Amino acid sequence: MKSIFVLLVLAASLAVANTLPSEKRKNGPLIQEALSPVQIALQESSAAFYNNETSSPFLYGTVVSQDGLILTKASELEQVKDFHVRVGTKKYRDPKVLGSDEVWDVALVRIEAEGLTPVKMGETAEFPHGTWVVSNGSTERRFRRPRPGIISANKREVPVPGGVVLGVELKEEQGGLVIGKVTENSGAEKAGLKPGDLIVGIDENPVKKRADLIKKFKDEKEGNLVRLKVKREEEELSIEVELMSREKLYGRQMTRNDQLSGGDLQQSDRRTGFPMIIQHETMLTRYEVGGPVFTLDQQFVGMNIAAVNRVEAFAIPSEELPDILAELKKSAQ
């Protein structure tokens, strides 16, 4: 009954809010009042990260243990070296980054705390399209403002656009592929490939044309290893190369939707390459991800991992987080 009442109030509030400025639509008093029950869950189980140089919030986190373990978005956290954390109304001055998972873009942070309220991870649930959800919006030092949205798509993997690459320029000649330029920081450079090397095989299969590589890379993922058969002058080499995403190595091409959404200033840099996500339509920015997502009755849905465009956001499903946390704790030992 309470959820139905909240829905009615929220729907009426949003109808009125269509005539209001953007910030009032997202954080107006009617909307905040309707979401006040969920605000308590956000207040207790989310962490706000503050840049010590600017004293400004730049990221959220999800509390996953009573003794101070927090999961957050790794690629955003890496951009700020000196920060502190607030959980509820309390400030924690010396957080420690214990490790990160590049595949999921998740970092594990510890604060010196006891008696926190962790989210309930691991509950597998299928949320129908249109289910109302609530995330952290803007934050004050002692107050988290809830931001409403709805589930808008089925759970799915989000692959990296453009697939994976070696990180080299290639020419078809001499019965194989001759390397021209080797891209800095690519898997090819790290493996020691050089301009002039002739690639004649990959994973025991012959290579004569670019099409051979394209066919091979079609089902490969970032981080996978391939073994190249390479001729360097009179020497024949076997070289293992780690594949990298085209987008990560060469940058993301901005779409019209990106431009309308504010481009790199508002949306997450890393918003693809996730093994599984829940998509919801919520107006978030890159500074508002990392925290938990709840239903109106305070059921934990997952952890926000990317602000995709003006209205779409991705969250890692609740059932994926225990394994991510376990691996991060293991690597931190």
pLDDT digits (tens, 9 = 90+) for 264-322: 568 898 898 899 999 999 999 999 999 999 999 999 999 999 999 888 999 999 999 99
- Among 125-134, 158-167, 303-312, the least confident range: 158-167
CB 70 within 8 A of CB 108: yes
Distance, CA of 221 to CA of 212 (rounded, Å): 17
pTM: 0.76
Burial per residue of 33-44, b for 16 or more beta-carbon CB atoms within 10 angstroms, e otherwise: ebbebbbebbbb
Instruction: Look at residue 257 in the predicted model and tell me its pLDDT.
Output: 57
The encoded tokens of residue 222 equal 């970032």
CB 302 within 8 A of CB 317: yes
- Confidence label for 140 from pLDDT (cuts 50, 70 and 90): confident
Percentage of the chain modeled with pLDDT above 70: 85
In DSSP terms, 241 is beta-bridged to 226
Q: Delineate the domains of the chain, giving CATH numbers in brackets.
A: 35-157+257-332 (2.40.10.120), 164-249 (2.30.42.10)
CB 77 within 8 A of CB 97: yes
Distance, CA of 289 to CA of 125 (rounded, Å): 21
Question: CA angle, corner 146, sides to 144 and 150, nearest 5?
Answer: 155
274-281 and 156-158 as β-strands: parallel, antiparallel, unpaired?
A: antiparallel
Distance, CA of 296 to CA of 193 (rounded, Å): 54
Distance, CA of 247 to CA of 6 (rounded, Å): 42
Helices (H), the chain: 2-17, 22-27, 29-34, 36-45, 74-77, 187-191, 210-217, 246-250, 256-260, 321-332
- Confidence label for 18 from pLDDT (cuts 50, 70 and 90): very low
In DSSP terms, 235 is beta-bridged to 232
Whether the per-residue pLDDT at 262 is higher than 60: the answer is no
Instruction: Look at residue 159 in the predicted model and tell me its pLDDT.
Output: 83
Distance, CA of 139 to CA of 142 (rounded, Å): 8
- Confidence label for 36 from pLDDT (cuts 50, 70 and 90): confident
